[in-house]
Structure 1
């Protein structure tokens, strides 16, 4: 039959070509030939092609091949349209009626694999690796009359007014957003904070060239100074362009950028850095009248580099009068002055675009089998002593130098913090350490070992409520000290760590009571401490 149809088709084609060539076209014959060829085009694939159009016919047994389940039948008859609709459904093997070869539907398998990958990607993008930050309540409304009164006051008189108001702060036992147990005096804090929002204006000096000035460094362990600079210069609530209305003046330099630009590597000479700052202050004091009015006491700087306190020593007014918000708040150096200067939290930021990434989600107390954990470089005098007494000495005390690879393969540094009741935070070369804030992030009670260290934001935060301080001489008794803490007290401290966490977060858009506002408030409050009420 197949040969017969082929001969008919060839004969008709020859006839058609001959007619066209000699322009003797009989349209009836041409129409008849076209009809024959159309029928042949439909019937030929049925007999010639390897895969017949079996899905247009009734269901049949497709193969005598015996699979694992004993038989292979097609359970449904599908039209071509239905077949395309169900491409994602695994199809039965396609078997030719004139062949014993089983052919798998590869295109559909690829489509299914691609779909699975897409779903996996989609699931991954939905993972939220940032803490859920509950927004604070809006600031209290102030009567227009009081606003006009405050706006009419000269800057110094406005500060006197604020100090008097704080001295008569109304008693507050609790607050729906602030957690009273982590504060020294929540009543004074709340009143001072409200007045800061009503009154404070900061002028930022435009002088200075990048990268030392106006160029925040946002990554690494010194990122606190950069994030404060970034958010301060973007702020519209506290910043004023009129220096005559300002209560505080900000020196917008980065100690980290100063080190990178001026310090000669391995020279161990900080004098060029201190001379650079001295020259900058001299330029400011000659160009503007504001420094000389108060000898710099209403000016402030924010710097987290270990060397910052030493770089202020070449200019006596900068060292003694200016408010220094620094990470290296070491009383033994006689540079940091409590009550005037501010201890700055040291925060290690790994992703400037997402400063809150991988923060929080600490384990509950019952899922913290490790008593104490530390891992880090052997910097300074304290850490080698800690390892001498506790490295590989006790199963409950996971004390390492750098975390060994054999350990980190199974449990990472962050997971260790989440699995530990206490996180040991010994000083390095200087008193502060990013581990203190990291411990708070992962809801692990910090154990601070650094004599003469003024703890961050201690103007109002009560560190005894959510941390443990151990003297350097008591390192041999570290486990004994931790085990002596009653379970009830530990549970309270662990809850307090969770509650204080929001005060140590850098938000891309600052919120009330977050780290940016807490630092600014400490600077504001310490400026009020210098004001004498007549």
Structure 2
């Protein structure tokens, strides 16, 4: 009996151990199962949060600071419904250092109403329109003013054309600009917090931020006090101290329609035959004793006409001609003498159409010098050296004209002076953004981050 019972005891022990092991196996299985469920739940939670955050609309810009102003909040919420079309390739961080610009949606009297005159968007001062339009399609533009580094104030001051001579009249410019600043300072907090130092304006007429067409009056008036802290994009620029650049500024090119350039080049290729040696078409006074002759162009154009008017090497014309770009593309040298101001639209047209610009405007500051190799694509002749102009051009033609033309005909060079809509990589608006990205020390957002 004793011998028969021992195996039963061993067997019972074996059964108990097996049951115990089975329970442990089940426990481990359930433990692993619960761990997997927990891991999956946490992962799903974070993934869902990421998707929600990524697709969150920018309408959150109506923050608590606007809670005391219903009109301001409504204005911002309304502007946030505008759909900006960004380019597919985001190059903002690479080229513009992550810079963001907020474009104020001003009442139409400051900009859109002026477009009823078609010339407003095509004449030589139209950079104010072109930059505004290009920014609305730029990847640097943000709908959230709280994340902006700069604030663009779109005011068109050059579209008030005189009924007497058809030229832009800017006598209203100061009051219109002041009114726009009053508009943004009352409805938004951003102007007052920086006193306008991170706000950007365009002044694309003769003497830029002085808002006058005559230099003596412009210098006497100077830059209006309400603009002195801001950034002004202006066509005017000289290398010496001048009241009309007594403000943070970027020199920009005057506006020339890229479509008109393209149409001209389709008819006459850039590298085609150039049978005109030296070209100029524009205002040249025959009688230097009248007011224009005494002051306009500092008599430089009058001297050119007197010296070379009968010279067969020079193709000089004093009257307007709508198809004058067809003459530029046939020319080797294009004279770019100063007018009322040092700059001239001929500079852009000459470069765009492959004619070597001959700059006759002492101490002029040229646009985008960090990008455009002006010394390699143009000639500079002193205003008091007109008598030697013919000899200078003949010498260049006999020595390094081909080299200059090769540099000039580079696509990147020509593109940098033209405003496109939408903006293209390397074009004039692109260069403006690059220039602004170098002024990010004026950004309230950046300074706030740096002090934290």
- Bin for the TM-score computed over the shorter chain: 0.5 to 0.7
The secondary structure found in structure 2 opposite 1:446 is strand
Indicate how the Cα distance of structure 1 residues 358 and 223 shifts in structure 2: closer, same or farther if over 3 A, else same. Answer: farther
**Alignment correspondent of 2:64:** none
Shift of 1:307: 5.6
Shift of 1:358: 2.2
Partner Cα separation in structure 2 for residue 214 and residue 252 of structure 1: 12
Partner Cα separation in structure 2 for residue 388 and residue 294 of structure 1: 53
**Alignment correspondent of 2:35:** none
**Alignment correspondent of 1:396:** 313
Whether the aligned pair in 1 keeps the contact of 2:96 and 2:437 (CA below 8 Å) is no
Which one of 386, 389, 394 corresponds to residue 304 of structure 2?
Answer: 386
Is 2:433 the counterpart of 1:520?
yes
Partner Cα separation in structure 1 for residue 270 and residue 325 of structure 2: 11
Shift of 1:527: 4.7
> C-alpha offsets along residues 211-254 of structure 1, whole Å, 9 cap, x if unaligned?
53586632122222211111212x15111121110011101111
Whether the aligned pair in 2 keeps the contact of 1:325 and 1:523 (CA below 8 Å) is no
Mapping for residues 15-26 of structure 1, pairs under 5 Å:
none
Which one of 121, 125, 133 corresponds to residue 230 of structure 1?
Answer: 133
**Alignment correspondent of 2:106:** 207
The secondary structure found in structure 2 opposite 1:475 is helix
Is 2:409 the counterpart of 1:494?
no
Shift of 1:195: 3.8
Indicate how the Cα distance of structure 1 residues 522 and 357 shifts in structure 2: closer, same or farther if over 3 A, else same. Answer: farther
Indicate how the Cα distance of structure 1 residues 488 and 528 shifts in structure 2: closer, same or farther if over 3 A, else same. Answer: farther
The secondary structure found in structure 1 opposite 2:193 is helix
Range 308-317 or range 512-521, more displaced:
308-317
Partner Cα separation in structure 2 for residue 282 and residue 306 of structure 1: 25
> C-alpha offsets along residues 296-339 of structure 1, whole Å, 9 cap, x if unaligned?
22111123222642239563141x3211111233456422258x
Whether the aligned pair in 2 keeps the contact of 1:356 and 1:506 (CA below 8 Å) is no
Is 2:366 the counterpart of 1:449?
no
Shift of 1:345: 0.9
Indicate how the Cα distance of structure 1 residues 272 and 502 shifts in structure 2: closer, same or farther if over 3 A, else same. Answer: closer
Which one of 418, 421, 425 corresponds to residue 329 of structure 2?
Answer: 418
Partner Cα separation in structure 1 for residue 280 and residue 241 of structure 2: 25
Partner Cα separation in structure 2 for residue 197 and residue 215 of structure 1: 31
Can you give the 5+ residue segments of structure 1 that lack an aligned partner in the other structure?
1-147, 149-191
Partner Cα separation in structure 2 for residue 526 and residue 425 of structure 1: 31
**Alignment correspondent of 1:335:** 244
- Structure (1 or 2) with the larger CA radius of gyration: 1
**Alignment correspondent of 1:373:** 279
The secondary structure found in structure 1 opposite 2:335 is strand
Partner Cα separation in structure 1 for residue 135 and residue 376 of structure 2: 30
Partner Cα separation in structure 1 for residue 407 and residue 319 of structure 2: 29
Is 2:200 the counterpart of 1:292?
no
**Alignment correspondent of 1:349:** 257
Indicate how the Cα distance of structure 1 residues 459 and 383 shifts in structure 2: closer, same or farther if over 3 A, else same. Answer: same
Indicate how the Cα distance of structure 1 residues 269 and 326 shifts in structure 2: closer, same or farther if over 3 A, else same. Answer: closer
Partner Cα separation in structure 2 for residue 418 and residue 356 of structure 1: 12
> C-alpha offsets along residues 162-194 of structure 1, whole Å, 9 cap, x if unaligned?
xxxxxxxxxxxxxxxxxxxxxxxxxxxxxx985
Which one of 203, 212, 232 corresponds to residue 303 of structure 1?
Answer: 203
Partner Cα separation in structure 2 for residue 401 and residue 380 of structure 1: 14
Which one of 233, 240, 250 corresponds to residue 142 of structure 2?
Answer: 240
The secondary structure found in structure 1 opposite 2:425 is coil
Partner Cα separation in structure 2 for residue 218 and residue 285 of structure 1: 27
> C-alpha offsets along residues 81-139 of structure 1, whole Å, 9 cap, x if unaligned?
xxxxxxxxxxxxxxxxxxxxxxxxxxxxxxxxxxxxxxxxxxxxxxxxxxxxxxxxxxx
Whether the aligned pair in 1 keeps the contact of 2:264 and 2:325 (CA below 8 Å) is no
Shift of 1:343: 1.3
Whether the aligned pair in 2 keeps the contact of 1:255 and 1:308 (CA below 8 Å) is no
Partner Cα separation in structure 2 for residue 420 and residue 485 of structure 1: 14
Indicate how the Cα distance of structure 1 residues 315 and 369 shifts in structure 2: closer, same or farther if over 3 A, else same. Answer: closer
**Alignment correspondent of 1:186:** none
**Alignment correspondent of 2:31:** none
Partner Cα separation in structure 2 for residue 466 and residue 232 of structure 1: 29
Which one of 189, 209, 220 corresponds to residue 123 of structure 2?
Answer: 220
Indicate how the Cα distance of structure 1 residues 222 and 447 shifts in structure 2: closer, same or farther if over 3 A, else same. Answer: same
Count the aligned residue pairs: 328
Indicate how the Cα distance of structure 1 residues 220 and 271 shifts in structure 2: closer, same or farther if over 3 A, else same. Answer: closer
The secondary structure found in structure 2 opposite 1:281 is helix
Partner Cα separation in structure 2 for residue 509 and residue 377 of structure 1: 33
Indicate how the Cα distance of structure 1 residues 300 and 355 shifts in structure 2: closer, same or farther if over 3 A, else same. Answer: farther
The secondary structure found in structure 1 opposite 2:409 is helix
